[in-house]
Structure 1
């Protein structure tokens, strides 16, 4: 599946219209047909009054193997849903499965009963039934849709959604492609989850060997593994670009000198990707569908459920590889930009796997390669000694922190590896509070810090210009200039050994009382990641504005990646009454309990998480 737009000018209209069709191919066109459209202002674009989607089981070939998937209109990804800002969308979804299904319009602001989350403000779509989604389209940009029923998203039930703006785009381009990244397993996803529950490292084939036992002893004492980068890896996953495995080589065409817009969407269940196009500089112009001040980069990390729009301008008559390498380096998705079909470019060599460091635990320095003798006396997790180590730092001031840093082994000494993280700002970190959040949380970081300037594990020393969250600035000043009236602190918690994931130490089944928001308030949410894993946090129904130093140009996000031992805040203008889902967008984390409901009411309620 590929989706492209070539922008029509009067000069190329005849040449363009002779060979291209419309972007919407729901009933009249095969969902596998590449669609091409023009801007409405230039050549006209058809926005159907009603869009029809059929959710069904479909036999497909992925990477040369036949498999069965849950699809929209028979393809992975599903067909491009293209809307126009200001219209009323009417989308009829018919369930041809033997089980309930749903569609959530990710990042779209709409009434809660149209949001598509079963058990929140919507009952789901029963087998054989049709549900009509109808909502006003109040925004523009690159978004996507996916099932919110069980693990159907992992089985292929997702697709791209583009909303064309009323006003002209603030950047130029002549050609437009969706690049949708995903992960596919030939296993039953329920079996994948069962395997993780039996042994959380089931798919971690990169675990260290007996030869590293001494170095890893401190990690073992804390029941952790420095190679725990991703729960599910290339051991079971095939990574796809627009539904195609690397060997199938999805291709987007260009003419030399054209500006090409690439709309990257991470529709994975569990996989973070590092995206680069060797030989081409990318300019990031949108994040999560929202225009930002342009940022030139060599590569960017895209968390699960995020979207980034970039502009590239290939000048040569040659092919370029679009390379999306997984964060754990266990595989990649790959495609090609080329002047002609059939052309290829070299596939970059995969980078060495990254390793977790003590920085990911909130330690003051990276001590991941310190020999066992240097840490033999480290108390075991759960002991009073470890609890003291974790919690008795609450009274430390900045000079205490600096003294601790001064007394740590020097960089390059026998007791210290080269630091993999930029620790220059650690003196501004804050100690974790005394609450460990019970058995649902296996440990807390000693110190919390902002990691907005951290490119992420494995991207620290690449020599490339990597997109940072601190780079993001909205193009226009934010509409609500109020300061937050109150703050809610939410801890991202988990027990990797038991494969339990939660908020504030409680799974959804243990804490179904909604998190109360007050309609009309300006609210600050502060996330503290107590775990050693990254978590993409998604709030339905409202924008989160990332507090990243941009002041009046704080960028809007519908999904926020929170790194290990990070403390990060977002501001929310609470303006959507009703019940909304709030969860980690790693599918299996959400399934086992990292999910809550936010309730927006006109009542002042005391927060009791």
Structure 2
């Protein structure tokens, strides 16, 4: 396969021609006729310059399918966003569509098809936008690292299998043989037994971490399977920038480079105050830029294990081609807890009336930044009356299997499987923008949305409803709104709002990080501010492809 080298084009260009079509290629040592952009998986790296007007002509050579390109995280006019049925009609076989827009931002982003399941089949690539002014994060070496997956199983077959059996791709279940280990973790056999009984009553599995796993996936780094060993070169003492993009369809990755500290300098294309870490979790569609400074004449492994620990992607940073770094063992498989079910710190079998709440620890409860909806925001600026659009907890029915009784703020948690692993792991709470946000106004409206689903039937939605049963969310142009997400499910959901920035309320005050995709952890509650400054119809959805396709999708209309 013509795998991506990860090396940026020599200079930015404002004119691009992309061809979408089937190409004979080799993926995971198998020769097949795969859909590609520009004859490669990933597609070519597009390098633009902030302030330029770019023109990208996309020609569809697929014989029987429409296609499209969505510019993920890029602020574009609505008719250039690339979502068939919302922003344009799509690109018919044999046709060419030219996207043309001004580039207002800089940083690391990506593009992908928004037609059917084409993204999962390989239609994606990286975007790097050079800043108009000197880059404070300039390094001697600069590589793009695209993480993704590959499988021969069609997405429609995956859906059929998951609807037949929700843990179809989860082979590592808890057994009688694993009970002693559970008892040690629960600090007692009785507690472990109650935990298992509680999960059984809910008809769920604590080991159900990812819907689709390494049982069928091969995890790729710049199109390379783990044994193909992608190489990025450096000279000892150089600063190396790594632009990580999670272009997978269903996999969260936990990334580390044993022996090297990583300095996180960008999140979703936006500069943040540098955070030194040993590891970070990257959700589907997120991007992180990190800087490493290898001093020794040795190879280092870029190690990205799947959240469920069923496989990994990997590559090598090395002073010479062909070197191989030591590959670390994968961490133990995570196990879900009652926190993931939205029961806070409740123990299995415990009810709300049984709980003691000494001191009512407010630190563990989620409150919008600087207070509740009726408190003042933004320092001394008086808060206007806040209109709250809250449908309340959704009913339990065939489309909603669980309601989080006590959703908590988990922004200070690195995620399931990463707690107390002896490494410094990035959390959302650590992300702090390098400059105050552009809009200092407090919100005038709060929109509360429950993320819901039924694992047994494999149905997903917002507020217990599928997309087909939900109307659009309407915003007035210029309106300042708080979106509050309550995750009633036991799964992570990377939520993406097209066209508008999401300013995560993570305790950083006016220095909230700007993101285009935010992971809602299981059983959690979080909020972010949105300024509706671009008119149009925008997609709003979970970026786990199967979740989006099966109902966790809404439209936002700014008018």
TM-score when normalising by structure 1: 0.82
> How far apart, in 2, do the equivalents of 1:367 and 1:139 lie?
47
RMSD: 2.2
| 1:115 CA drift (Å) | 0.3
Mapping 1:325-364, distance limit 5 Å:
325-364=305-344
Higher relative contact order (CA 8 A, sep 6+): 2
Deviations 1:210-248 (A, max 9, x none): 556955222111111000110000011000000000000
Residue among 510, 522, 540 paired with 1:552: 510
Residues 580-600 of structure 1, C-alpha deviations (whole Å, 9 max, x = no match):
000000000000010011000
CA distance in 2 between partners of 1:429 and 1:485 (Å): 16
3-state secondary structure, aligned to 2:82: coil
Instruction: Return the match for 1:487 from 442, 446, 450.
Output: 446
Q: CA deviation at 1:46?
A: 5.0
- Counterpart in 2 of 1:527? 485
Of 350, 353, 357 in structure 2, the residue corresponding to residue 402 of structure 1 is 357
Report the counterpart of residue 569 of structure 1 in structure 2.
Answer: 527
Tell me by how many angstroms 1:31 deviates.
7.9
1:71–1:366 Cα change, 3 Å: farther
SS in 2 for 1:340: coil
Aligned equivalents of 2:152, 2:466: Cα separation in 1: 28
Distance 1:549 1:332, change over 3 A: same
- Larger mean Cα displacement after TM superposition, 76-85 or 216-225: 216-225
Q: How much has 1:32 moved relative to structure 2?
A: 5.4
CA contact (8 A) 1:429 1:447 kept: no
Do structure 1's residue 277 and structure 2's residue 257 form an aligned pair?
yes
Counterpart check, 1:71 vs 2:30: no
How many Å apart are 1:291 and its aligned residue?
0.5
Q: Distance in 2 between matches of 1:262 and 1:428?
A: 33
On the 8 A contact 1:252/1:336 being kept in 2, the answer is yes
Inter-CA distance 201–110: structure 2 relative to 1 (3 Å threshold): same
| Residues 456/559 of structure 1: CA separation in 2 closer, same or farther (3 Å cut) | same
Q: Residue 507 of structure 1: which of 463, 466, 472 is its match? A: 466
1:525 Cα shift? 0.4
Unaligned stretches of 5+ residues in structure 2 = 180-192, 369-389
Q: Distance in 2 between matches of 1:496 and 1:264?
A: 30
Counterpart for residue 600 of structure 1: 558
Choose which of 62, 74, 92 in structure 2 pairs with 1:126: 92
1:92 aligns with 2:57: yes
Counterpart Cα distance in 2 of 1:530 and 1:285: 32
Encode CA deviations 1:440-471: one digit per residue, 9 max, x unaligned.
Answer: 21111220211010111000011111111000
2:220 aligned residue: 240
Change (3 A) 1:359 1:473: same
What whole-Å deviation, never above 9, does each CA across 1:108-160 have from its counterpart, x for those lacking one? 00011110001112111101100100111111100000011111111000000
Report matched runs for 1:19-418 at 5 Å.
35-37=7-9, 45-48=11-14, 50-97=15-62, 98-210=64-176, 216-365=196-345, 367=347, 375=349, 401-402=356-357
Q: What is the SS of the residue equivalent to 1:161?
A: strand
Query: CA–CA distance in 2 between the matches of 1:96 and 1:434?
Result: 47
Partner Cα distance (1:441, 1:594) in 2: 12
Q: Is the 8 A contact 1:31 1:74 kept in 2?
A: no
Q: Is the 8 A contact 1:526 1:567 kept in 2?
A: yes
* 1:278-326 deviations in Å (ceiling 9; x for gaps): 0000000000000011111001000000000000000011000000011
Q: Flag as ranges the 4+ runs of structure 1 deviating above 3 A.
A: 30-38, 210-215, 423-430
Q: Which moves more between the two structures, 555-564 or 166-175? A: 166-175
Equivalent residue of 1:537, what SS?
Answer: strand
**Mean Cα deviation higher: 213-222 or 580-589:** 213-222
Shift of 1:435: 2.7
Match of 1:539 in 2: 497
3-state SS in 1 of match to 2:456: helix
Q: Does the 8 Å contact 2:8/2:45 carry over to 1?
A: no
Encode CA deviations 1:391-437: one digit per residue, 9 max, x unaligned.
x78xx9xxx751599xxxxxxxxxxxxxxxxx99446789x996333
Give the C-alpha shift of residue 520 in structure 1: 0.5
| Cα distance in 1 between the residues matched to 2:356 and 2:341 | 16
Shift of 1:36: 4.9
Counterpart CA distance in 2 for 1:96 and 1:321 is 38
Higher-Rg structure is 1
In the superposition, the TM-score normalised over structure 2's length comes to 0.89
Q: How many residues align?
A: 522
C-alpha contact (below 8 Å) 1:429/1:448 kept by paired residues = no
Please, which runs of 5 or more residues in structure 1 have no aligned partner? 2-29, 39-44, 369-374, 379-388, 406-422, 602-609
Counterpart of 1:518? 476
Q: Describe the shift of the 1:325–1:594 C-alpha distance in structure 2 as closer, same or farther (beyond 3 A).
A: same
In 1: Cα distance, 2:433 partner to 2:319 partner: 33
